[in-house]
């Protein structure tokens, strides 16, 4: 993978990837916020892809994270608590938990890149009911 970043002035950067480019305006969103959202996007996308591969339709889906960072520089992430909220009538709690755990332990590149140094916890909510709360990776 090759990526690059070009400074455009006024705290605006152009990010270039192998497939596209996009603007980073750090007055609006910081690189740390990009990192955190990219981390939950990586695992969040896994869940949708696994469900679709198995023929399940997801009606509504939100992934959130609460993070804690160190208070001294370099202010590394100390923990991520990821909550998966899924609405899918045909999807069982067992199957959803399998998808989440497969993502967190095997497929998510971002999670697997940080899990040695960042405490990862997760909660799974299916159709408004918590099926797993504050599990540790």
Mind listing the pLDDT tens digit for each residue in 116-127? 999 999 999 999
Q: How many residues does the chain have?
A: 137
Assess contact for 86 and 96: CB atoms under 8 A.
yes
Query: Which pLDDT score is estimated for 127?
Result: 97
Read off the CATH number of the domain in which 131 is found. Answer: 3.30.300.20
Does residue 104 lie in a domain region?
yes
pTM: 0.92
pLDDT band at 30 (very low <50, low <70, confident <90, very high): very high
pLDDT band at 100 (very low <50, low <70, confident <90, very high): very high
Angle CA 41–20–13, to nearest 5: 85
Does residue 69 lie in a domain region?
yes
Determine the structural domain holding residue 122 and report its residue range: 30-136
3-state secondary structure 47-93: HHHHHHHCCCCCCEEEEEEEEEECCCCCCCEEEEEEEEEEECCCCCH
Q: How many domains does the chain have?
A: 1
């Amino acid at each position: 993978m090759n990526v690059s970043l070009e400074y455009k002035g006024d705290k605006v950067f152009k990010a270039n990837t192998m497939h596209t480019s996009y603007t980073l305006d750090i007055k609006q969103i910081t690189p740390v916020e990009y990192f955190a959202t990219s981390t939950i996007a990586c695992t969040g996308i896994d869940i949708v892809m696994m469900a679709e591969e198995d023929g399940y339709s997801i009606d509504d889906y939100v992934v959130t994270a609460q993070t804690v960072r160190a208070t001294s520089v370099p202010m590394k992430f100390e923990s991520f608590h990821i909550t998966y909220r899924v609405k899918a009538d045909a999807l069982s709690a067992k199957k959803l938990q399998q998808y989440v755990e497969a993502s967190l332990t095997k497929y998510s590149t971002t999670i697997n890149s940080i899990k040695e140094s960042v405490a990862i916890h997760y909660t799974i909510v299916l159709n408004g009911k918590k099926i797993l709360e504050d599990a540790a990776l």
